[in-house]
A = this chain, B = another copy of it.
Amino acid sequence: MVIHRMPTPELLRRLYLDMLRVRVVEERIAALYGEQEMRCPVHLSVGQEGVAAGVSAALAPEDYVLSGHRAHAHYIARGGNLRAMLAELYGRVTGCCEGKGGSMHLVDPSVGFIGAVPIVGSTIPIAVGTALASRMRGEKRVTIAYFGEGATEEGVYHEAMNYAVLRKLPVVFICENNFFSVYSPLSVRQPEGREVYRLAAGYGLETWKGDGNDAVAVQERAAAAVDKARAGGGPTFLELVTYRWREHCGPNYDNDIGYRTPAEFEEWKRRDPLPRLERRLLDEAIATRADLDAMATQVAAECEDAVAFAKKSPFPGEEKLREGVYA
């Protein structure tokens, strides 16, 4: 049950700014990747910004977030340190993992971003575990588990869902359905017509399927789910349909290699989450063109600052190699 509230102007501006920040950073990474200084795999979130922005805007500072290989947007929208992220991609000691993780391992405990790792599905039970801890300690925290529709094929997803529902844990499952697991379409992985959120509903929790490119709708649903979880109402599952624009891993477009059509891509480009909200901001006079320009300038500056910081940061020294295998 969701009570529709009018989003505040602040919220709409925030959603836009967060999406813009993700977009700008990701596009910048794509542009710089060819320099071969970011020497790690990158799974870009371009096109999928709506989910991260909407969900992040629904969270309280104390909440936890876990993610997978495609985590940039989740980290950025959650307010993860941008310098530390870029430095991590550049393999520098100032990176969030001191260079040990690379793009696929983002972390920022200061904003409750507990971690992202690239083994598909593995952070789903881990997220449920942080929710269990919150419950055991009587805290009011909520955990977000971000994952792709591919991850719902892993057994561990099933195990984690069952337990979250069994114990009514404060966790919200955010499934970004972008139709592909690498280059494998849904048709070779899941029965046709069987919706991801419907299978999830079988576990006995509230589910919703919606447009992941509508950040406002995502925020509304995510907020309802988070509030419910915080109030002890247990987990919710949101399937958010979206589309990755660039190749599965790397900086390029790959609509030509044969696993999907340029037409499909163009169709999704038309559903770009950013212009959509931009129009609304302008139409409803929540922001002026000048405001938007200012945001663009701000975000570009943040991005350049982070890149510059990363590029001038030192690499970890040899002493770091053996450090920290054990706590």
Contacts and interface: CB of A to CB of B under 8 A. Distances in A.
Contact of A165 (B156, B165, B191, B202): B191
A318 to B, nearest CB: 41
Given A191-B203, A194-B203, A159 B155 contact: yes
A317 interface: no
Interface residues of A, number: 23
Given A191-B203, A193-B204, A204-B191, A154 B165 contact: no
A202 B201 contact: yes
A166 B193 CA distance: 10
Interface string A195-223: 00011111110000000000000000000
A153 interface: yes
Contact of A156 (B155, B157, B166): B155
Contacts of A201: 202
Contacts of A198: 202
Contacts of A166: 188-191
Contacts of A255: none
Contacts of A156: 155
A194 B190 contact: no
A119 to B, nearest CB: 14
A158 interface: yes
Nearest to A194: B204
A160 B155 CA distance: 9
B204 A202 contact: no
A165 to B, nearest CB: 5
Contacts of A81: none
A162 interface: yes
Contact of A199 (B188, B190, B191, B203): B203
A153 B202 CA distance: 13
A98 to B, nearest CB: 33
Contacts of A190: 162, 166
A158 B199 CA distance: 11
Nearest to A187: B166
Contacts of A155: 154-159
A191 B191 CA distance: 26
A157 B159 CA distance: 10
Interface in A161-194: 162, 165-166, 188-191, 193-194
Given A157-B158, A166-B191, A200-B202, 17 more contacts: A153-B159, A153-B162, A155-B156, A155-B158, A155-B159, A158-B158, A158-B159, A165-B191, A166-B188, A166-B190, A191-B203, A193-B204, A194-B202, A194-B204, A199-B202, A199-B204, A202-B202
9 contacts: A153-B159, A153-B162, A154-B155, A155-B155, A155-B157, A166-B189, A166-B190, A198-B202, A199-B202
